[in-house]
Amino acid sequence: MSGSSYFSVLTLAAGTVLVCAVAILWLASIRAVISMVAVQGASLGLVAVVLGVHLHDAGLLAAAAVVVVVKAVVIPVLLGRASGSDSGSRESRPLVNVPASLVASAALIVLAFVTGRGVAHFVGTRAGALVPIGIATMLIGFFVLVARRRPTFQIVGLLMVDNGIALTAFLCTAGFPFLIELGVSFDVLLGVVVLMVLSQRLRLEFGDVDLDELQELHD
Amino acid sequence: MDAGSCNGCEIEIASIFSPTYDAERFGIRLEASPRHCDGLLVTGPVTRNMAAPLRKTFDAVPQPRVVVAVGDCARDCGVFRGAYGVEGAVSDVVPVDLEIPGCPPDPAAIVRALRGLAGT
Amino acid sequence: MSTGWSITSMSAISLLQVVLVIVGGPLLLGFMRKVRCRMEGRVGPPVHQPLLDLRKMAGRERTRPEHASWVFPLAPVVLVATTLVVAAVAPLLATDPAFGWSADLFAVVFLLLLGSVSLALGALDTGTAFGGMGASRAMTIGALAEPALLVAILALSVPAHSSNLPTIIIRSLAHPAWLATPERVLALVAFVIVIVAESGRLPVDNPSTHLELTMIHEAMMLEYAGPDLALVKLAESMRLVVLFTLLADLFVPWGIATSPGPWHLAVALASTAGKLVVLGAALAVFEVTVAKLRLFRVPELLAGAFVLATLAVLSTLVVP
Amino acid sequence: MLLMTILVLPLLGGTAVALGRGRTWSAWAAVASNGGALALGIIAAVRVLREGPLSGARGTLRADALSVFMVIVIGAISLLASWLGVRTPARAPEDGHRNPERSAVYGVLVQAFVGFMILAVLAANVGVLWVAVEATTIVTAFLVGFRRTRGSLEASWKYIVICSVGIALAFLGTVFVYLAALHAGGHSAHALDWTSLMAHARHFDPSLMRLAFGLLVLGYGTKVGLAPMHTWLPDAHSQAPAPVSALMSGVLLTVAFYAILRFKAVTDVALGPGFARTLLVIVGLLSLALAASLLIAQRDYKRMLAYSSIEHMGLIALGAAAGIRLAIAAVLLHILGHGLAKSVLFLTSGEILTAEGTSRIDGVRSLVARRPALGGLFGVGLVALLGLPPFSLFTSELVMVRAEFEVGLGWAAVLAMVAMVVVFIAVVGHARHMLLGPAGPPRPAGSSGVTAPPPRWVAAPLIGGLVVCGFIGVFAWPLSGLLTAAARVVAT
Amino acid sequence: MTAALLVATALMGLAGTAAGAIAPVRFRIALSSALTIAACALGFVVGAEVLHSGHAAVVHTTTLMPLASFSLALDRFGALFVVITAVVGICAMIFRFGYDGQGLASRTASSILPLFVTSLLLVPAASNVTTFLFLWELMAITSLLLVLTDHARRSEVQVAGQWYAVMTQLGAAALILGLVLLATRSGSQSFAVIAVRSAHLPAWVRSTAFVLAVVGFGSKAGAVPLHVWLPRAHPEAPGPVSALMSAAMVNLGVYGIVRVGMGLLSGGPAWWWLLVMGLGALSAMFGSLHSATSKDLKRLLAYSTTDNVGLMLLGVGASGLFADTGHRALALLALVAALLHVVFHAVFKGSLFLSASSVHQAAGSTDLDQLGGLLRRMPVSGPIFLVGGLAIAALPPFCGFVSEWLLLQSMLHGLPSGDVAIAVAMPIGVGVLALTGGLTAFTFTKAIGIGLLGLPRTQDAERAGEVGRPMWIGAGLLAVLCLVFGVAPFLVIPSVVDAAGAVPGLHLAGALTRGWNVALPGVPGMLAPGLVAIGLVGFGGLVALGRHLVQQRPVRLTEAWGCGRELQTARMEYTATSFGEPLTRVFEDVLSPARDVDVSHLAESRYYTEAAVIHTTIDDAFERRVYRPADRMLVRWGAVARRVPNGSVHRYLAFGLVALIVVLVVLA
């Protein structure tokens, strides 16, 4: 793969990750959000593949495979199944409404670019220049966690944070040693599974809940 | 001690310490506590309510002690004799050593009687 | 101070002082009573009447409230004994009675306080309302008089660099100029107020009152009879003499015997008697002319004494 | 081999529980396995002191003095917690053990939890450490929500969401460290090993390390319970079954702190001591202030203990900020002492909850008079926790203050002391209401049911825990060598 | 040798603890008390030997105290306190054999009490910062637990315990900071090294450390305004414990101030000592006023402890002031006076607290208004209290008199020194001393007169009888000491001079005793307590003999004179409240008493009063004005803080997001 096409594909894939993040913020339908998660996972995998090919790193390619399997296939499927009957529902009353969220995400992206510049500069590669995208994705994921009420959205937010960080990791260091990468992915998978189990239990025990109603425990 | 008098005798007793009679020059003084006394001056007929206090007061005076019944009422109940609230004369309640007659008695008589008791 | 005084003469002086106090106390009271009666236009009892009273009381019966403990009969004894100890060691007639070196002003104060406390305890032991009332009031006044007294003593002790009584007296004899200093005058006033309060005289307390509710000192002895009463009364008069003599010796020391010899002693005896007569008369006159203060005004008087005494101390520092 | 055995032993216990389907003997097997881990930890400590760091599993595991110390802490507290956990299945309604299957699940999860913690401290590699810590989150999430009440589900939701985010940030920090390490010439396979990090730290890029350490403190700090990401802690600790709370509060927090401590050593080499110190002082004081403020009006005694954990983590952070060897040794002693005292307290509070039926402070009265064993244990535990002698927390707090003064953090020590006094006032006030007072008439039926005092074998480990906590506070010899050696690992 | 004995003391005390914890119920008290007595006896021997020989007993080990070392070095100054504690401890433990009240027989209390005594014995020996703080806090926690012994029966105990815990922790925090500051700045934990190097420390370090130490030790000593726990905790503790706390533990506060101020810091500027004197004056005034108006016997004693601590601090402050202005002999004199007061206070307050506990056990109450007539009913314990009361009121021939006299003398002789600070401080000191002296006399007249004399006011008091022999032996030993030391102070003064001489830089130009007498070196000033006693007994005997001789009839027992009234009962008696009423009224502005008048009317007519009850309650002004508002503020802050974490996971995550953004912005 030639240098420039490598970089444009990489940019495209990384950009897609961020666009998905913004889209998730924009969307209200849970089903649409889950498909966005799948797209984001796939894009992340694409980033890893591109990097792996570029760097001739078999470990990275394996990691990419794991990422794609876990984040683009398994988790969206599980999410879709878990939200089951719930999947048609929507985030009707987000804590921060969509326009404000979009403005916030813009601010977060700016923040990410400002703060990520140092790291990007330090990495020194062309891929490294994309690091702010990873950070931005992470921040937007965090924002989703703060601003959305539905349990599924929080799971998604958590995934976005993870994806953002994974993206940063790929761009910075071309990923961790494979075993660790595997462990990380496995942990994420388990985390999501646990959360889904929990949300299911919540629904079973208390019916359809907004997370905001979970305020029984406080001082 | 006023055992039920009309206060006539008290006024006379008080007056013996005035400059006119000045009983203090003979060493005669009123004391605040029966414990400090040599004797009791009892006035008035002894009423039912005052009989017990009179006995207590008499008891409180250290021996040797004297009781002086001052005035007619104290001697024999005077005009109150036989009244329903009257227990009797002082001598019916406590032993009396000296009686000073009069209604009320003359201060000079009181001083004289007391001097006689003290031997001065 | 141990200059030429033999043990014998010192002991003799102590004995003389004790006798003086025992006899002089009642006489002083009799004298004061006489002065009062005269001022009120009466003849009054003879001067030795208190002595006669004491003899009469001694012969009477002792009584004791049935629930009282041994404190009740012990109190008069302690009261008298404390006064006698002071009388024996304090330089009343001569600067060096036996054990005069131990006659510390602070010690004198605490000894007299012991007497007051024991009388108050005796009064409380009777379990009557008046005993408690008297003890409460007397101790309140005592507690407030104490600081004024001690600070006044401090004012006297500072120039002498000692609170030892003979030392103070000898040094002020040596430096008569001290006697006219402002701190002396201030301390004198404080002293007088305290003595009046402590010995239960007008305007703090009326010793001849018959009304229990107004009593302070008298209320404490209401239960005593016979010899016990005699002891309490005697002690009362003795304390007055001791305090007066000390007052006189501290502020007008001339006449006190500074060396042994019957002649010196005679002079001392005469001068002391003179001083006592003057003081007694002054107090008697004063008592006739003032009314008793309300109990709750007394602290103001004593606070005033305290301030005067403090000023006295401070002025010892300002005027070296 | 030794390290591998230590790691596997708790998992074997877990297997036994699984095979035994949660029957009592299998639970005891788990206890034994944890005891074994403790014993092996002590053996490892002796060997480390004598021979230097051990390694195992082809370099994946590595134990220096600090690691074995943490293994001992984990072993001791998991022994306590699993011991009390044996009894848990017998008590159906409160802790949600409705059937043996569930108690088997419970036992397996607890053993996995212990295993992951041991892995975290024995891992030679930063990445493995991260994986292990994240794994503890997942395992304990089930344990927190084990009772399936609304409260426990809520708590476990918060727990896992907040901790996952936090730990993700730690991952980002780790990525940056890795980046710095690669640039400093590390070999990619081993660049994340502690030894390699320490060796190359001098060449790490300072600005990158600043960011990395900030993220690591924030991230691992979440698991430690340091402000401002502490928010999951009171909920999770108050809702989890008592043995789980004990394990979480007693060791999980400090295992996460172990990670911070390690990274701090790297950062100190890269940046000098000032940077990490500032950061740790800020979070430490913030945590202390927060714990103190929220303890004042506390109404739930398990939450009270949880906030007290935040307080102690703040103290530990301040101690670590001081950074000199003395301070680190004190921090480690504090970790052990706090672990023992806090786990005993959580376990006792579990018994109290069972007996009294409420975890509200005002629902419990006159405990010392009515239930002397529980009241006494709780009271003595609090004495230990409040840093009074003869318990080791007193010594370690004192030494930390000393160290803070020595490095010029006296002002922080003063502020910490103020916070500690407030905590003391608050806790004493709550404890007084719970513990003291007349026995009074028996409580109305229905609130508690039959309340026999806990059997001797239940009280014994709790008493033992406190005795050990006192013992190490007075006697220096069993630990001082290990503490100094461990401090030397992360403090220069 | 002394070192070995010191170790033996500690071990014996620990054996007592063990015995209390594991011995069977039948032997528990006997065994733990006996072992504690043995520990005290050993402590006494060590202390006496060190006082005598001047060779410090040194124990040092790194086996104890992780990350530090355990280090004891008992010098003469500390030895004095060890001896005091030992004596009080022995008496309190003997007392305990007969004492059955307030749950002291429980396993917990039996095991903690020996530990408490041991820590009291060892604190003055501690010679490095860690050891000192360890023992100090051990003492605090054990005493706290002992105060709480009777919590199940009386709710006051809980409140008292809480106050005590909080105040002692405040003090401990100050102490830790102060001592650690000193230790780190001088580069060593060892007291000896600190004492050498402290002179080179910057002034602010020295002053900060001193002020913190004064706060820390002052709170333990019960100095106003840190005293609020004391009048609550001391009365609520079981008898022997309250005696130990009041007679032995508060001393250590004074010990600490001297040890830090004069020992470790070798003296300091005048304002330090004026601060100490100010605290002392305030404590003395406040304590004596409150004890004069208290109506509970033990509360009265507790406030009187504050009062006496004030006097000790006055002495210590004066000593420091003299030392600062170069009057070394005077400094020693004042310190000796203060230490002598410590000794004597221990003796009389010990006997008072123990006999007050006897009263409690016999009559079921310590409320003076529930007592009365006990002197006849308790023919031994009553006189013991009487002796203690007279001694504390500084009346000859008892011991309090001697120390107050010395204190007065030291201030008197300091006056002409010409220094302004001294010139202002000393007269105030004397005034305070005098006022408290008067008030103390008032207080104990009340305590003895209302509590022991007169008529019993309740049935319980009526039925009271003498307590068991161990109890009055324990209290009686101390009462005997009151008299012995009052008559023959030469028995203790040389030792106290030695102890004070261990403080660096102080020396005396001669002996303080001459024969049986107390004599000031270099100035005319002498006290002959023996002579006074002989005079009192002699004259008293003569007077009593005379009275006996003139007496012609036997003493007649009669009803007390009640104006001839029927029903002369105990209800007519003056109560403690009424006794204190004039004084309360005089000091109304300071005490601000609250009066409640409950009037109930007869059912038949509203115009006739059936009963009128007046309650006068006197609150502690510092408690009301300082501590309660502070507590309210804290509670309000807690309520505000509680609202921040409201349970919303979103809010929690928002905290995290903000923190993350801050980290990114600041660090990247």
Decide: helix, strand or coil at residue B42.
strand
pLDDT of residue D442: 56
Average pLDDT, integer, range C186-193: 88
D448 pLDDT band (50/70/90 cuts)? very low
Average pLDDT, integer, range E429-446: 90
Query: What is the distance between the alpha carbons of residues D403 and D33, in angstroms, rounded to a whole number?
Result: 38
Question: Which residues in chain E touch residue C101, judged by CB atoms under 8 angstroms apart?
Answer: 524, 526, 528
**How close is the nearest chain E Cα to the Cα of D444, in Å?**
20
- Over 90: is that where the pLDDT of A217 sits? no
CB interface of E with B, residues 267-326, below 8 Å: none
**How close is the nearest chain A Cα to the Cα of E665, in Å?**
6
- Over 90: is that where the pLDDT of C97 sits? no
Given a contact cutoff of 8 angstroms between Cβ atoms, the answer to whether D160 and A211 are in contact is no
Phi and psi at residue B70, to the nearest 5°: -100, 120
CB interface of D with A, residues 142-201, below 8 Å: 142, 145, 148, 150-151, 153-158, 160-161, 164-165, 168-169, 171-172, 175-176, 178-179, 182-183, 188-189, 192
A86 pLDDT band (50/70/90 cuts)? low
Lowest mean pLDDT among C261-265, D290-294, E92-96: C261-265
Q: D444: Cβ–Cβ under 8 A, 6 or more apart, which residues?
A: none
Cross-strand bridge partners of residue B86: B47
CB interface of E with D, residues 636-665, below 8 Å: 637-639, 641-642, 645, 647, 649, 652-653, 655-656, 658-660, 663-664
Average pLDDT, integer, range A159-184: 85
pLDDT of residue D445: 47
Question: Which residues in chain B touch residue E557, judged by CB atoms under 8 angstroms apart?
Answer: none
Mutate one of E291, E377, E457, E547 to test the C interface: name it (highest C CB count within 10 A): E547
- Over 70: is that where the pLDDT of D94 sits? no
pLDDT of residue D111: 94
Q: Tell me the per-residue pLDDT of D59-82, one tens digit each, with 9 for 90 and over.
A: 889 999 999 999 999 999 999 999
- Over 90: is that where the pLDDT of D183 sits? no
B55 pLDDT band (50/70/90 cuts)? confident
The residue among E618 and C109 whose pLDDT is bigger is C109
- Over 50: is that where the pLDDT of D332 sits? yes
Q: Tell me the per-residue pLDDT of E359-417, one tens digit each, with 9 for 90 and over.
A: 999 998 889 888 888 999 999 999 999 999 999 999 988 999 999 999 988 888 877 77
pLDDT of residue A29: 85
Of B27, B31, B35, the CB nearest to C223: B35
Report chain C's mean pLDDT, rounded to a whole number.
85
- Over 90: is that where the pLDDT of E29 sits? no
Q: B68: Cβ–Cβ under 8 A, 6 or more apart, which residues?
A: B39, B40, B41, B42, B96, B97, B98, B99, B100, B113, B114, B117
Lowest mean pLDDT among B39-43, C73-77, C178-182, E657-661: C178-182
Rg (CA), chain C: 19
Domain boundaries, chain D: 2-440+452-490
**Contact with chain D for residue E158, Cβ under 8 A:** yes
The continuous run of DSSP H or E covering C124 comes out as helix C105-125
Lowest mean pLDDT among A26-30, A113-117, A130-134, D393-397: A26-30
Neighbouring chains to B with at least 3 Cβ pairs closer than 8 Å: C, E
Question: Which residues in chain A touch residue E665, judged by CB atoms under 8 angstroms apart?
Answer: 111, 115
Q: Tell me the per-residue pLDDT of E101-136, one tens digit each, with 9 for 90 and over.
A: 667 888 888 999 999 999 999 999 999 999 999 999
Strand order in the sheet with E513-514: E513-514, E517-519, E526-527
Q: Does E67 sit within 8 Å of D480, measured CB to CB?
A: yes
Q: Does C222 sit within 8 Å of B33, measured CB to CB?
A: yes
Q: Does D476 sit within 8 Å of E67, measured CB to CB?
A: yes
Question: Which residues in chain E touch residue C107, judged by CB atoms under 8 angstroms apart?
Answer: 396, 401, 405, 527, 532
Question: Which residues in chain E touch residue A141, judged by CB atoms under 8 angstroms apart?
Answer: none
Lowest mean pLDDT among A176-185, D62-71, E234-243, E489-498: A176-185
Question: Which residues in chain A touch residue E642, judged by CB atoms under 8 angstroms apart?
Answer: 219
- Over 60: is that where the pLDDT of E158 sits? yes
pLDDT of residue E355: 93
Neighbouring chains to C with at least 3 Cβ pairs closer than 8 Å: B, E
Q: What angle do CA C113, C115, C116 make, to 5 degrees?
A: 65
Mutate one of A149, A214, A215 to test the D interface: name it (highest D CB count within 10 A): A214
- Over 70: is that where the pLDDT of D229 sits? yes
C3 pLDDT band (50/70/90 cuts)? very low
Average pLDDT, integer, range D450-458: 70
**Contact with chain B for residue E547, Cβ under 8 A:** no
Average pLDDT, integer, range E503-521: 79
Architecture of domain B8-118: 3-Layer(aba) Sandwich (3.40)
Neighbouring chains to E with at least 3 Cβ pairs closer than 8 Å: A, B, C, D
| Tokens found for residue C254 | 């001339």
- Over 50: is that where the pLDDT of D125 sits? yes
Query: What is the distance between the alpha carbons of residues A84 and A87, in angstroms, rounded to a whole number?
Result: 5
Domain boundaries, chain C: 7-318
Of E646, E647, E654, the CB nearest to A146: E654
Query: What is the distance between the alpha carbons of residues C130 and C125, in angstroms, rounded to a whole number?
Result: 11
Report chain E's mean pLDDT, rounded to a whole number.
89
The residue among E92 and E560 whose pLDDT is bigger is E92
The continuous run of DSSP H or E covering E558 comes out as strand E556-558
Mutate one of E637, E652, E653, E667 to test the A interface: name it (highest A CB count within 10 A): E653
pLDDT of residue E639: 92
D89 pLDDT band (50/70/90 cuts)? low
pLDDT of residue C118: 93
Query: What is the distance between the alpha carbons of residues A43 and A71, in angstroms, rounded to a whole number?
Result: 10
Overall residue count recorded for chain D in this entry: 492
pLDDT of residue A210: 72
**Contact with chain E for residue D229, Cβ under 8 A:** yes
Given a contact cutoff of 8 angstroms between Cβ atoms, the answer to whether E248 and E346 are in contact is yes
Q: What's the ipTM?
A: 0.91
Phi and psi at residue D314, to the nearest 5°: -60, -45
Measured in Å, how far apart are chain C's first and last C-alpha atoms?
Answer: 25
CB interface of C with E, residues 83-122, below 8 Å: 84-85, 88-89, 99, 101-102, 104, 106-107, 110-111, 113-114, 116-117, 120-121
Among chain D residues, CA nearest to E653: D162
pLDDT of residue E202: 94
Domain boundaries, chain B: 8-118
What is the torsion angle, in degrees rounded to the nearest 10, for the CA atoms of residue A69, residue A70, residue A76 and residue A77?
A: 70
Query: What is the distance between the alpha carbons of residues D116 and D127, in angstroms, rounded to a whole number?
Result: 13
| Tokens found for residue E435 | 């006022």
Query: What is the distance between the alpha carbons of residues D398 and E178, in angstroms, rounded to a whole number?
Result: 12
CB interface of D with E, residues 381-420, below 8 Å: 383, 386, 388-390, 392, 394-396, 398-399, 401-402, 405-406, 410, 413-414, 417-418, 420
Average pLDDT, integer, range E173-179: 95
The continuous run of DSSP H or E covering C146 comes out as helix C129-160
C64 pLDDT band (50/70/90 cuts)? confident
**Contact with chain A for residue D140, Cβ under 8 A:** no
**Contact with chain E for residue D46, Cβ under 8 A:** no
- Over 90: is that where the pLDDT of B17 sits? no
Highest mean pLDDT among A26-40, D91-105, E247-261: E247-261
Q: Tell me the per-residue pLDDT of D244-269, one tens digit each, with 9 for 90 and over.
A: 999 999 999 999 999 999 999 999 99
Measured in Å, how far apart are chain A's first and last C-alpha atoms?
Answer: 59
Mutate one of D388, D466, D477, D479 to test the E interface: name it (highest E CB count within 10 A): D388
Query: What is the distance between the alpha carbons of residues E346 and E343, in angstroms, rounded to a whole number?
Result: 5
Question: Which residues in chain E touch residue A95, judged by CB atoms under 8 angstroms apart?
Answer: 650
Query: What is the distance between the alpha carbons of residues D269 and D261, in angstroms, rounded to a whole number?
Result: 13
Q: How many CB atoms lie within 10 A of CB E514?
A: 15
